[in-house]
């Protein structure tokens, strides 16, 4: 079974981004970029499936600028066998990415696609579901456990209020939640090996996909700033403030 794992290059999760003064977006020039944390979990899961014998090949995919090659190298250092970059400088929205991924799925014929549940930059939480819809495949979002048995996948999902288990007919789409696994650290020898693994580049045109953005971003602004609070001396003072000033208790 072949597994396809889409990964995204995003601003590192530790970076506190700043909004540009002209309100056109956030300033990501010269900030640290990394693989989206949920995608790391996806690559780790695919690699574990391969290690357990359930998967035979893991293909990592990224869509975006040329620098996304670094993200693909990281995926291959974790365990992906090869990777494909869909290179474009156009701003990609989830629907466009889902269409690009569909074109790659048609070509690669994987039995399973594992994506992160959301990217920490646009916080959209859409691509996996959209890809499932375009392919007419079943989906299991927010997965915290994945078991493959024959032509079925049994997936435990994190839902509001608890956990739910569903069974999908393969081929299928899974999106990862945080607790699916703990991604491994990449080791230096694996980083070196990853440099020799194949990385193909294609363009949206070659895949026959129109990636023009559908949503227009009119502006990006700072969120409202909370006014500075006070540090109280003790519990009695805190109770007094809550009762008499904030009037919330």
Partner 1 sequence: MSVLVIAEHDNAQLKGATLNVIAAAQKIGTDVHVLVAGAGIQAVAEQAAKAAGVSKVIAADGASLAEALAENVAAQVLALASSYSHILFPATANGKNVAPRVAAKLDVAQISDIISVESADTFTRPIYAGNAIATVQSQDAVKIITVRTTAFDPVAAEGGQATVESAAAVADSGLSSFVGRELAKSDRPELAGAAAVVSGGRGMGSAENFKILEPLADKLGAALGASRAAVDAGYAPNDWQVGQTGKIVAPQLYVAVGISGAIQHLAGMKDSKVIVAINKDAEAPIFGVADYGLVADLFQAVPELANAL
To the nearest 10 degrees (0 to 180), the angle between helices 94-108 and 127-135 is: 50
Residue 208 binds partner 1 (CB under 8 A): no
Residue 201 binds partner 1 (CB under 8 A): no
The residue (of 198 and 213) whose beta carbon lies closer to partner 1 is: 213
Element (H, E) at 113: strand 112-116
Residue 236 binds partner 1 (CB under 8 A): yes
Site for partner 1, residues 137 to 196, rule: CB under 8 A: 137-142, 144, 154, 157-169, 172, 177-179
What span, in angstroms and rounded, lies between the C-alpha atoms of 80 and 72?
9
The DSSP bridge pattern shows strands 152-159 and 139-149 to be antiparallel
Binding mask 88-117 for partner 1 (x = CB under 8 A): -----xxx--x------------------x
The residue (of 10 and 84) whose beta carbon lies closer to partner 1 is: 10
The residue from 89, 150, 185, 234 that contacts partner 1 (CB under 8 A) is 234
The residue from 132, 148, 174, 211 that contacts partner 1 (CB under 8 A) is 132
Q: Which residues pair with 140 in a beta bridge?
A: 174
What span, in angstroms and rounded, lies between the C-alpha atoms of 115 and 175?
5
Residue 217 binds partner 1 (CB under 8 A): yes
Determine the size of the site formed for partner 1 (CB under 8 A). 79
Residue 218 binds partner 1 (CB under 8 A): yes
Binding segment for partner 1 (CB under 8 A), chosen from 64-72, 82-90, 106-114, 238-246, is: 238-246
Minimum distance between the CB of residue 224 and partner 1, rounded to whole angstroms?
A: 8
Query: What sign does the CA torsion over 9, 209, 122, 112 have?
Result: negative
Q: How many CA atoms lie within 13 A of 20 on its CB side?
A: 10
Q: Are 81 and 197 in contact (CB under 8 A)?
A: yes
How far, CA to CA in Å, does 113 sit from each of 1, 33, 207, 232, 240? 11, 24, 18, 52, 55
The residue from 29, 189, 229, 244 that contacts partner 1 (CB under 8 A) is 229
Residue 235 binds partner 1 (CB under 8 A): yes
Site for partner 1, residues 36 to 95, rule: CB under 8 A: 93-95
The residue (of 42 and 77) whose beta carbon lies closer to partner 1 is: 42
Dihedral of the alpha carbons of 14, 15, 19, 21, in degrees to the nearest 10: 160
């Amino acid at each position: 079974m072949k597994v396809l794992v889409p990964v995204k290059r995003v601003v590192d999760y530790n970076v506190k981004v700043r909004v540009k003064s002209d309100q056109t977006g956030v300033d990501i020039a010269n900030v640290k970029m990394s693989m989206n944390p949920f995608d790391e979990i996806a690559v780790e899961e695919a690699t574990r499936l391969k290690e357990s014998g359930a998967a035979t090949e893991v293909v990592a995919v990224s869509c975006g600028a040329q620098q996304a090659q670094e993200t693909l190298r990281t995926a291959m250092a974790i365990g992906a066998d090869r990777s494909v970059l869909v290179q474009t400088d156009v701003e990609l929205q989830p629907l466009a990415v889902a269409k690009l991924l569909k074109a790659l799925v048609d070509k690669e014929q994987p039995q399973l696609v594992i994506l992160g549940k959301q990217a920490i930059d646009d916080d959209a939480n859409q691509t996996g579901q959209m890809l499932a819809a375009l392919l007419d495949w079943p989906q299991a979002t927010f997965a915290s456990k994945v078991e493959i048995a024959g032509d079925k996948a049994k997936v435990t999902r994190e839902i509001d209020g608890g956990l739910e288990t569903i069974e999908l007919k393969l081929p299928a789409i899974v999106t990862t939640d945080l607790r699916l696994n703990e991604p491994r650290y990449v080791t230096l020898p694996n980083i070196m090996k990853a440099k020799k693994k194949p990385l193909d580049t294609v363009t949206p045109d070659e895949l026959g996909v129109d990636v023009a953005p559908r949503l227009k971003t009119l502006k990006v602004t700072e969120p409202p700033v909370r006014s500075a609070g006070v540090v109280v001396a003790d519990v009695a003072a805190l109770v007094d403030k809550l009762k008499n000033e904030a009037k919330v208790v």
